[in-house]
Copies of this chain bind each other. A is one copy, B any other.
C-alpha cells in the first residue's frame, strides 16, 4: 500500500511521471507493456518480484508477456529508476529509486519468508563513511537482516 505524502499524491505517482519522462528523453518508446509496468510499480510503490508485476497486470487485464516485464525491469534498473534487490532465497525484487535518495532495507524471517522494511540514518551514515574510504565509486548498497519474526518465535 502506497504511503501518502503531504501533497496527497504518492511518492510512486511522481516516480511514474519521472520514469516516463526519462524514457522518452533518452529516446526509448513508451510501449504498452513498458508503460503498464511503470504505472503499476508507481502505484504499488515497488518491492515487487517480476512475477508479481506480471500477475498484477494480468488482473488489470493489461496483458504483458513475461519477457516484456523482465525487459522493462532491466531497462528501468539500467536507467537508475529501479533498484534490483536479491534477497537470499527466491527471485529478485525491484524497488523504486526516489530522487531524494530515500530508501529502505529489509529484514527477512528465515522461518516463514516474511519481509519487512526499515530505514536507519546511522546505518546510512556508516555506509557513507565506508564509501569515502574505498577506491570504488559507490553508487548503491543493499542491507538485509536475517532473523526470526515474532510469530515464528512463538510457534
Contact = CB atoms under 8 A, between A and B. Distances in A.
A142 B53 CA distance: 26
A110 B137 CA distance: 10
A145 B146 CA distance: 18
- Best-buried of A120, A146, A148 by chain B (most CB within 10 Å): A146
Interface in A116-130: 116, 118, 120, 122-123, 125-127, 129-130
A100 to B, nearest CB: 19
Contacts of A146: 138-142
Contacts of A116: 136
Given A87-B86, A142-B88, A130 B136 contact: no
Contacts of A142: 88, 142-144, 146
Given A107-B136, A138-B107, A150-B136, A145 B118 contact: no
Nearest to A129: B122
A55 interface: no
Interface of A: 84-89, 92, 107, 109-110, 116, 118, 120, 122-123, 125-127, 129-131, 134-150, 153
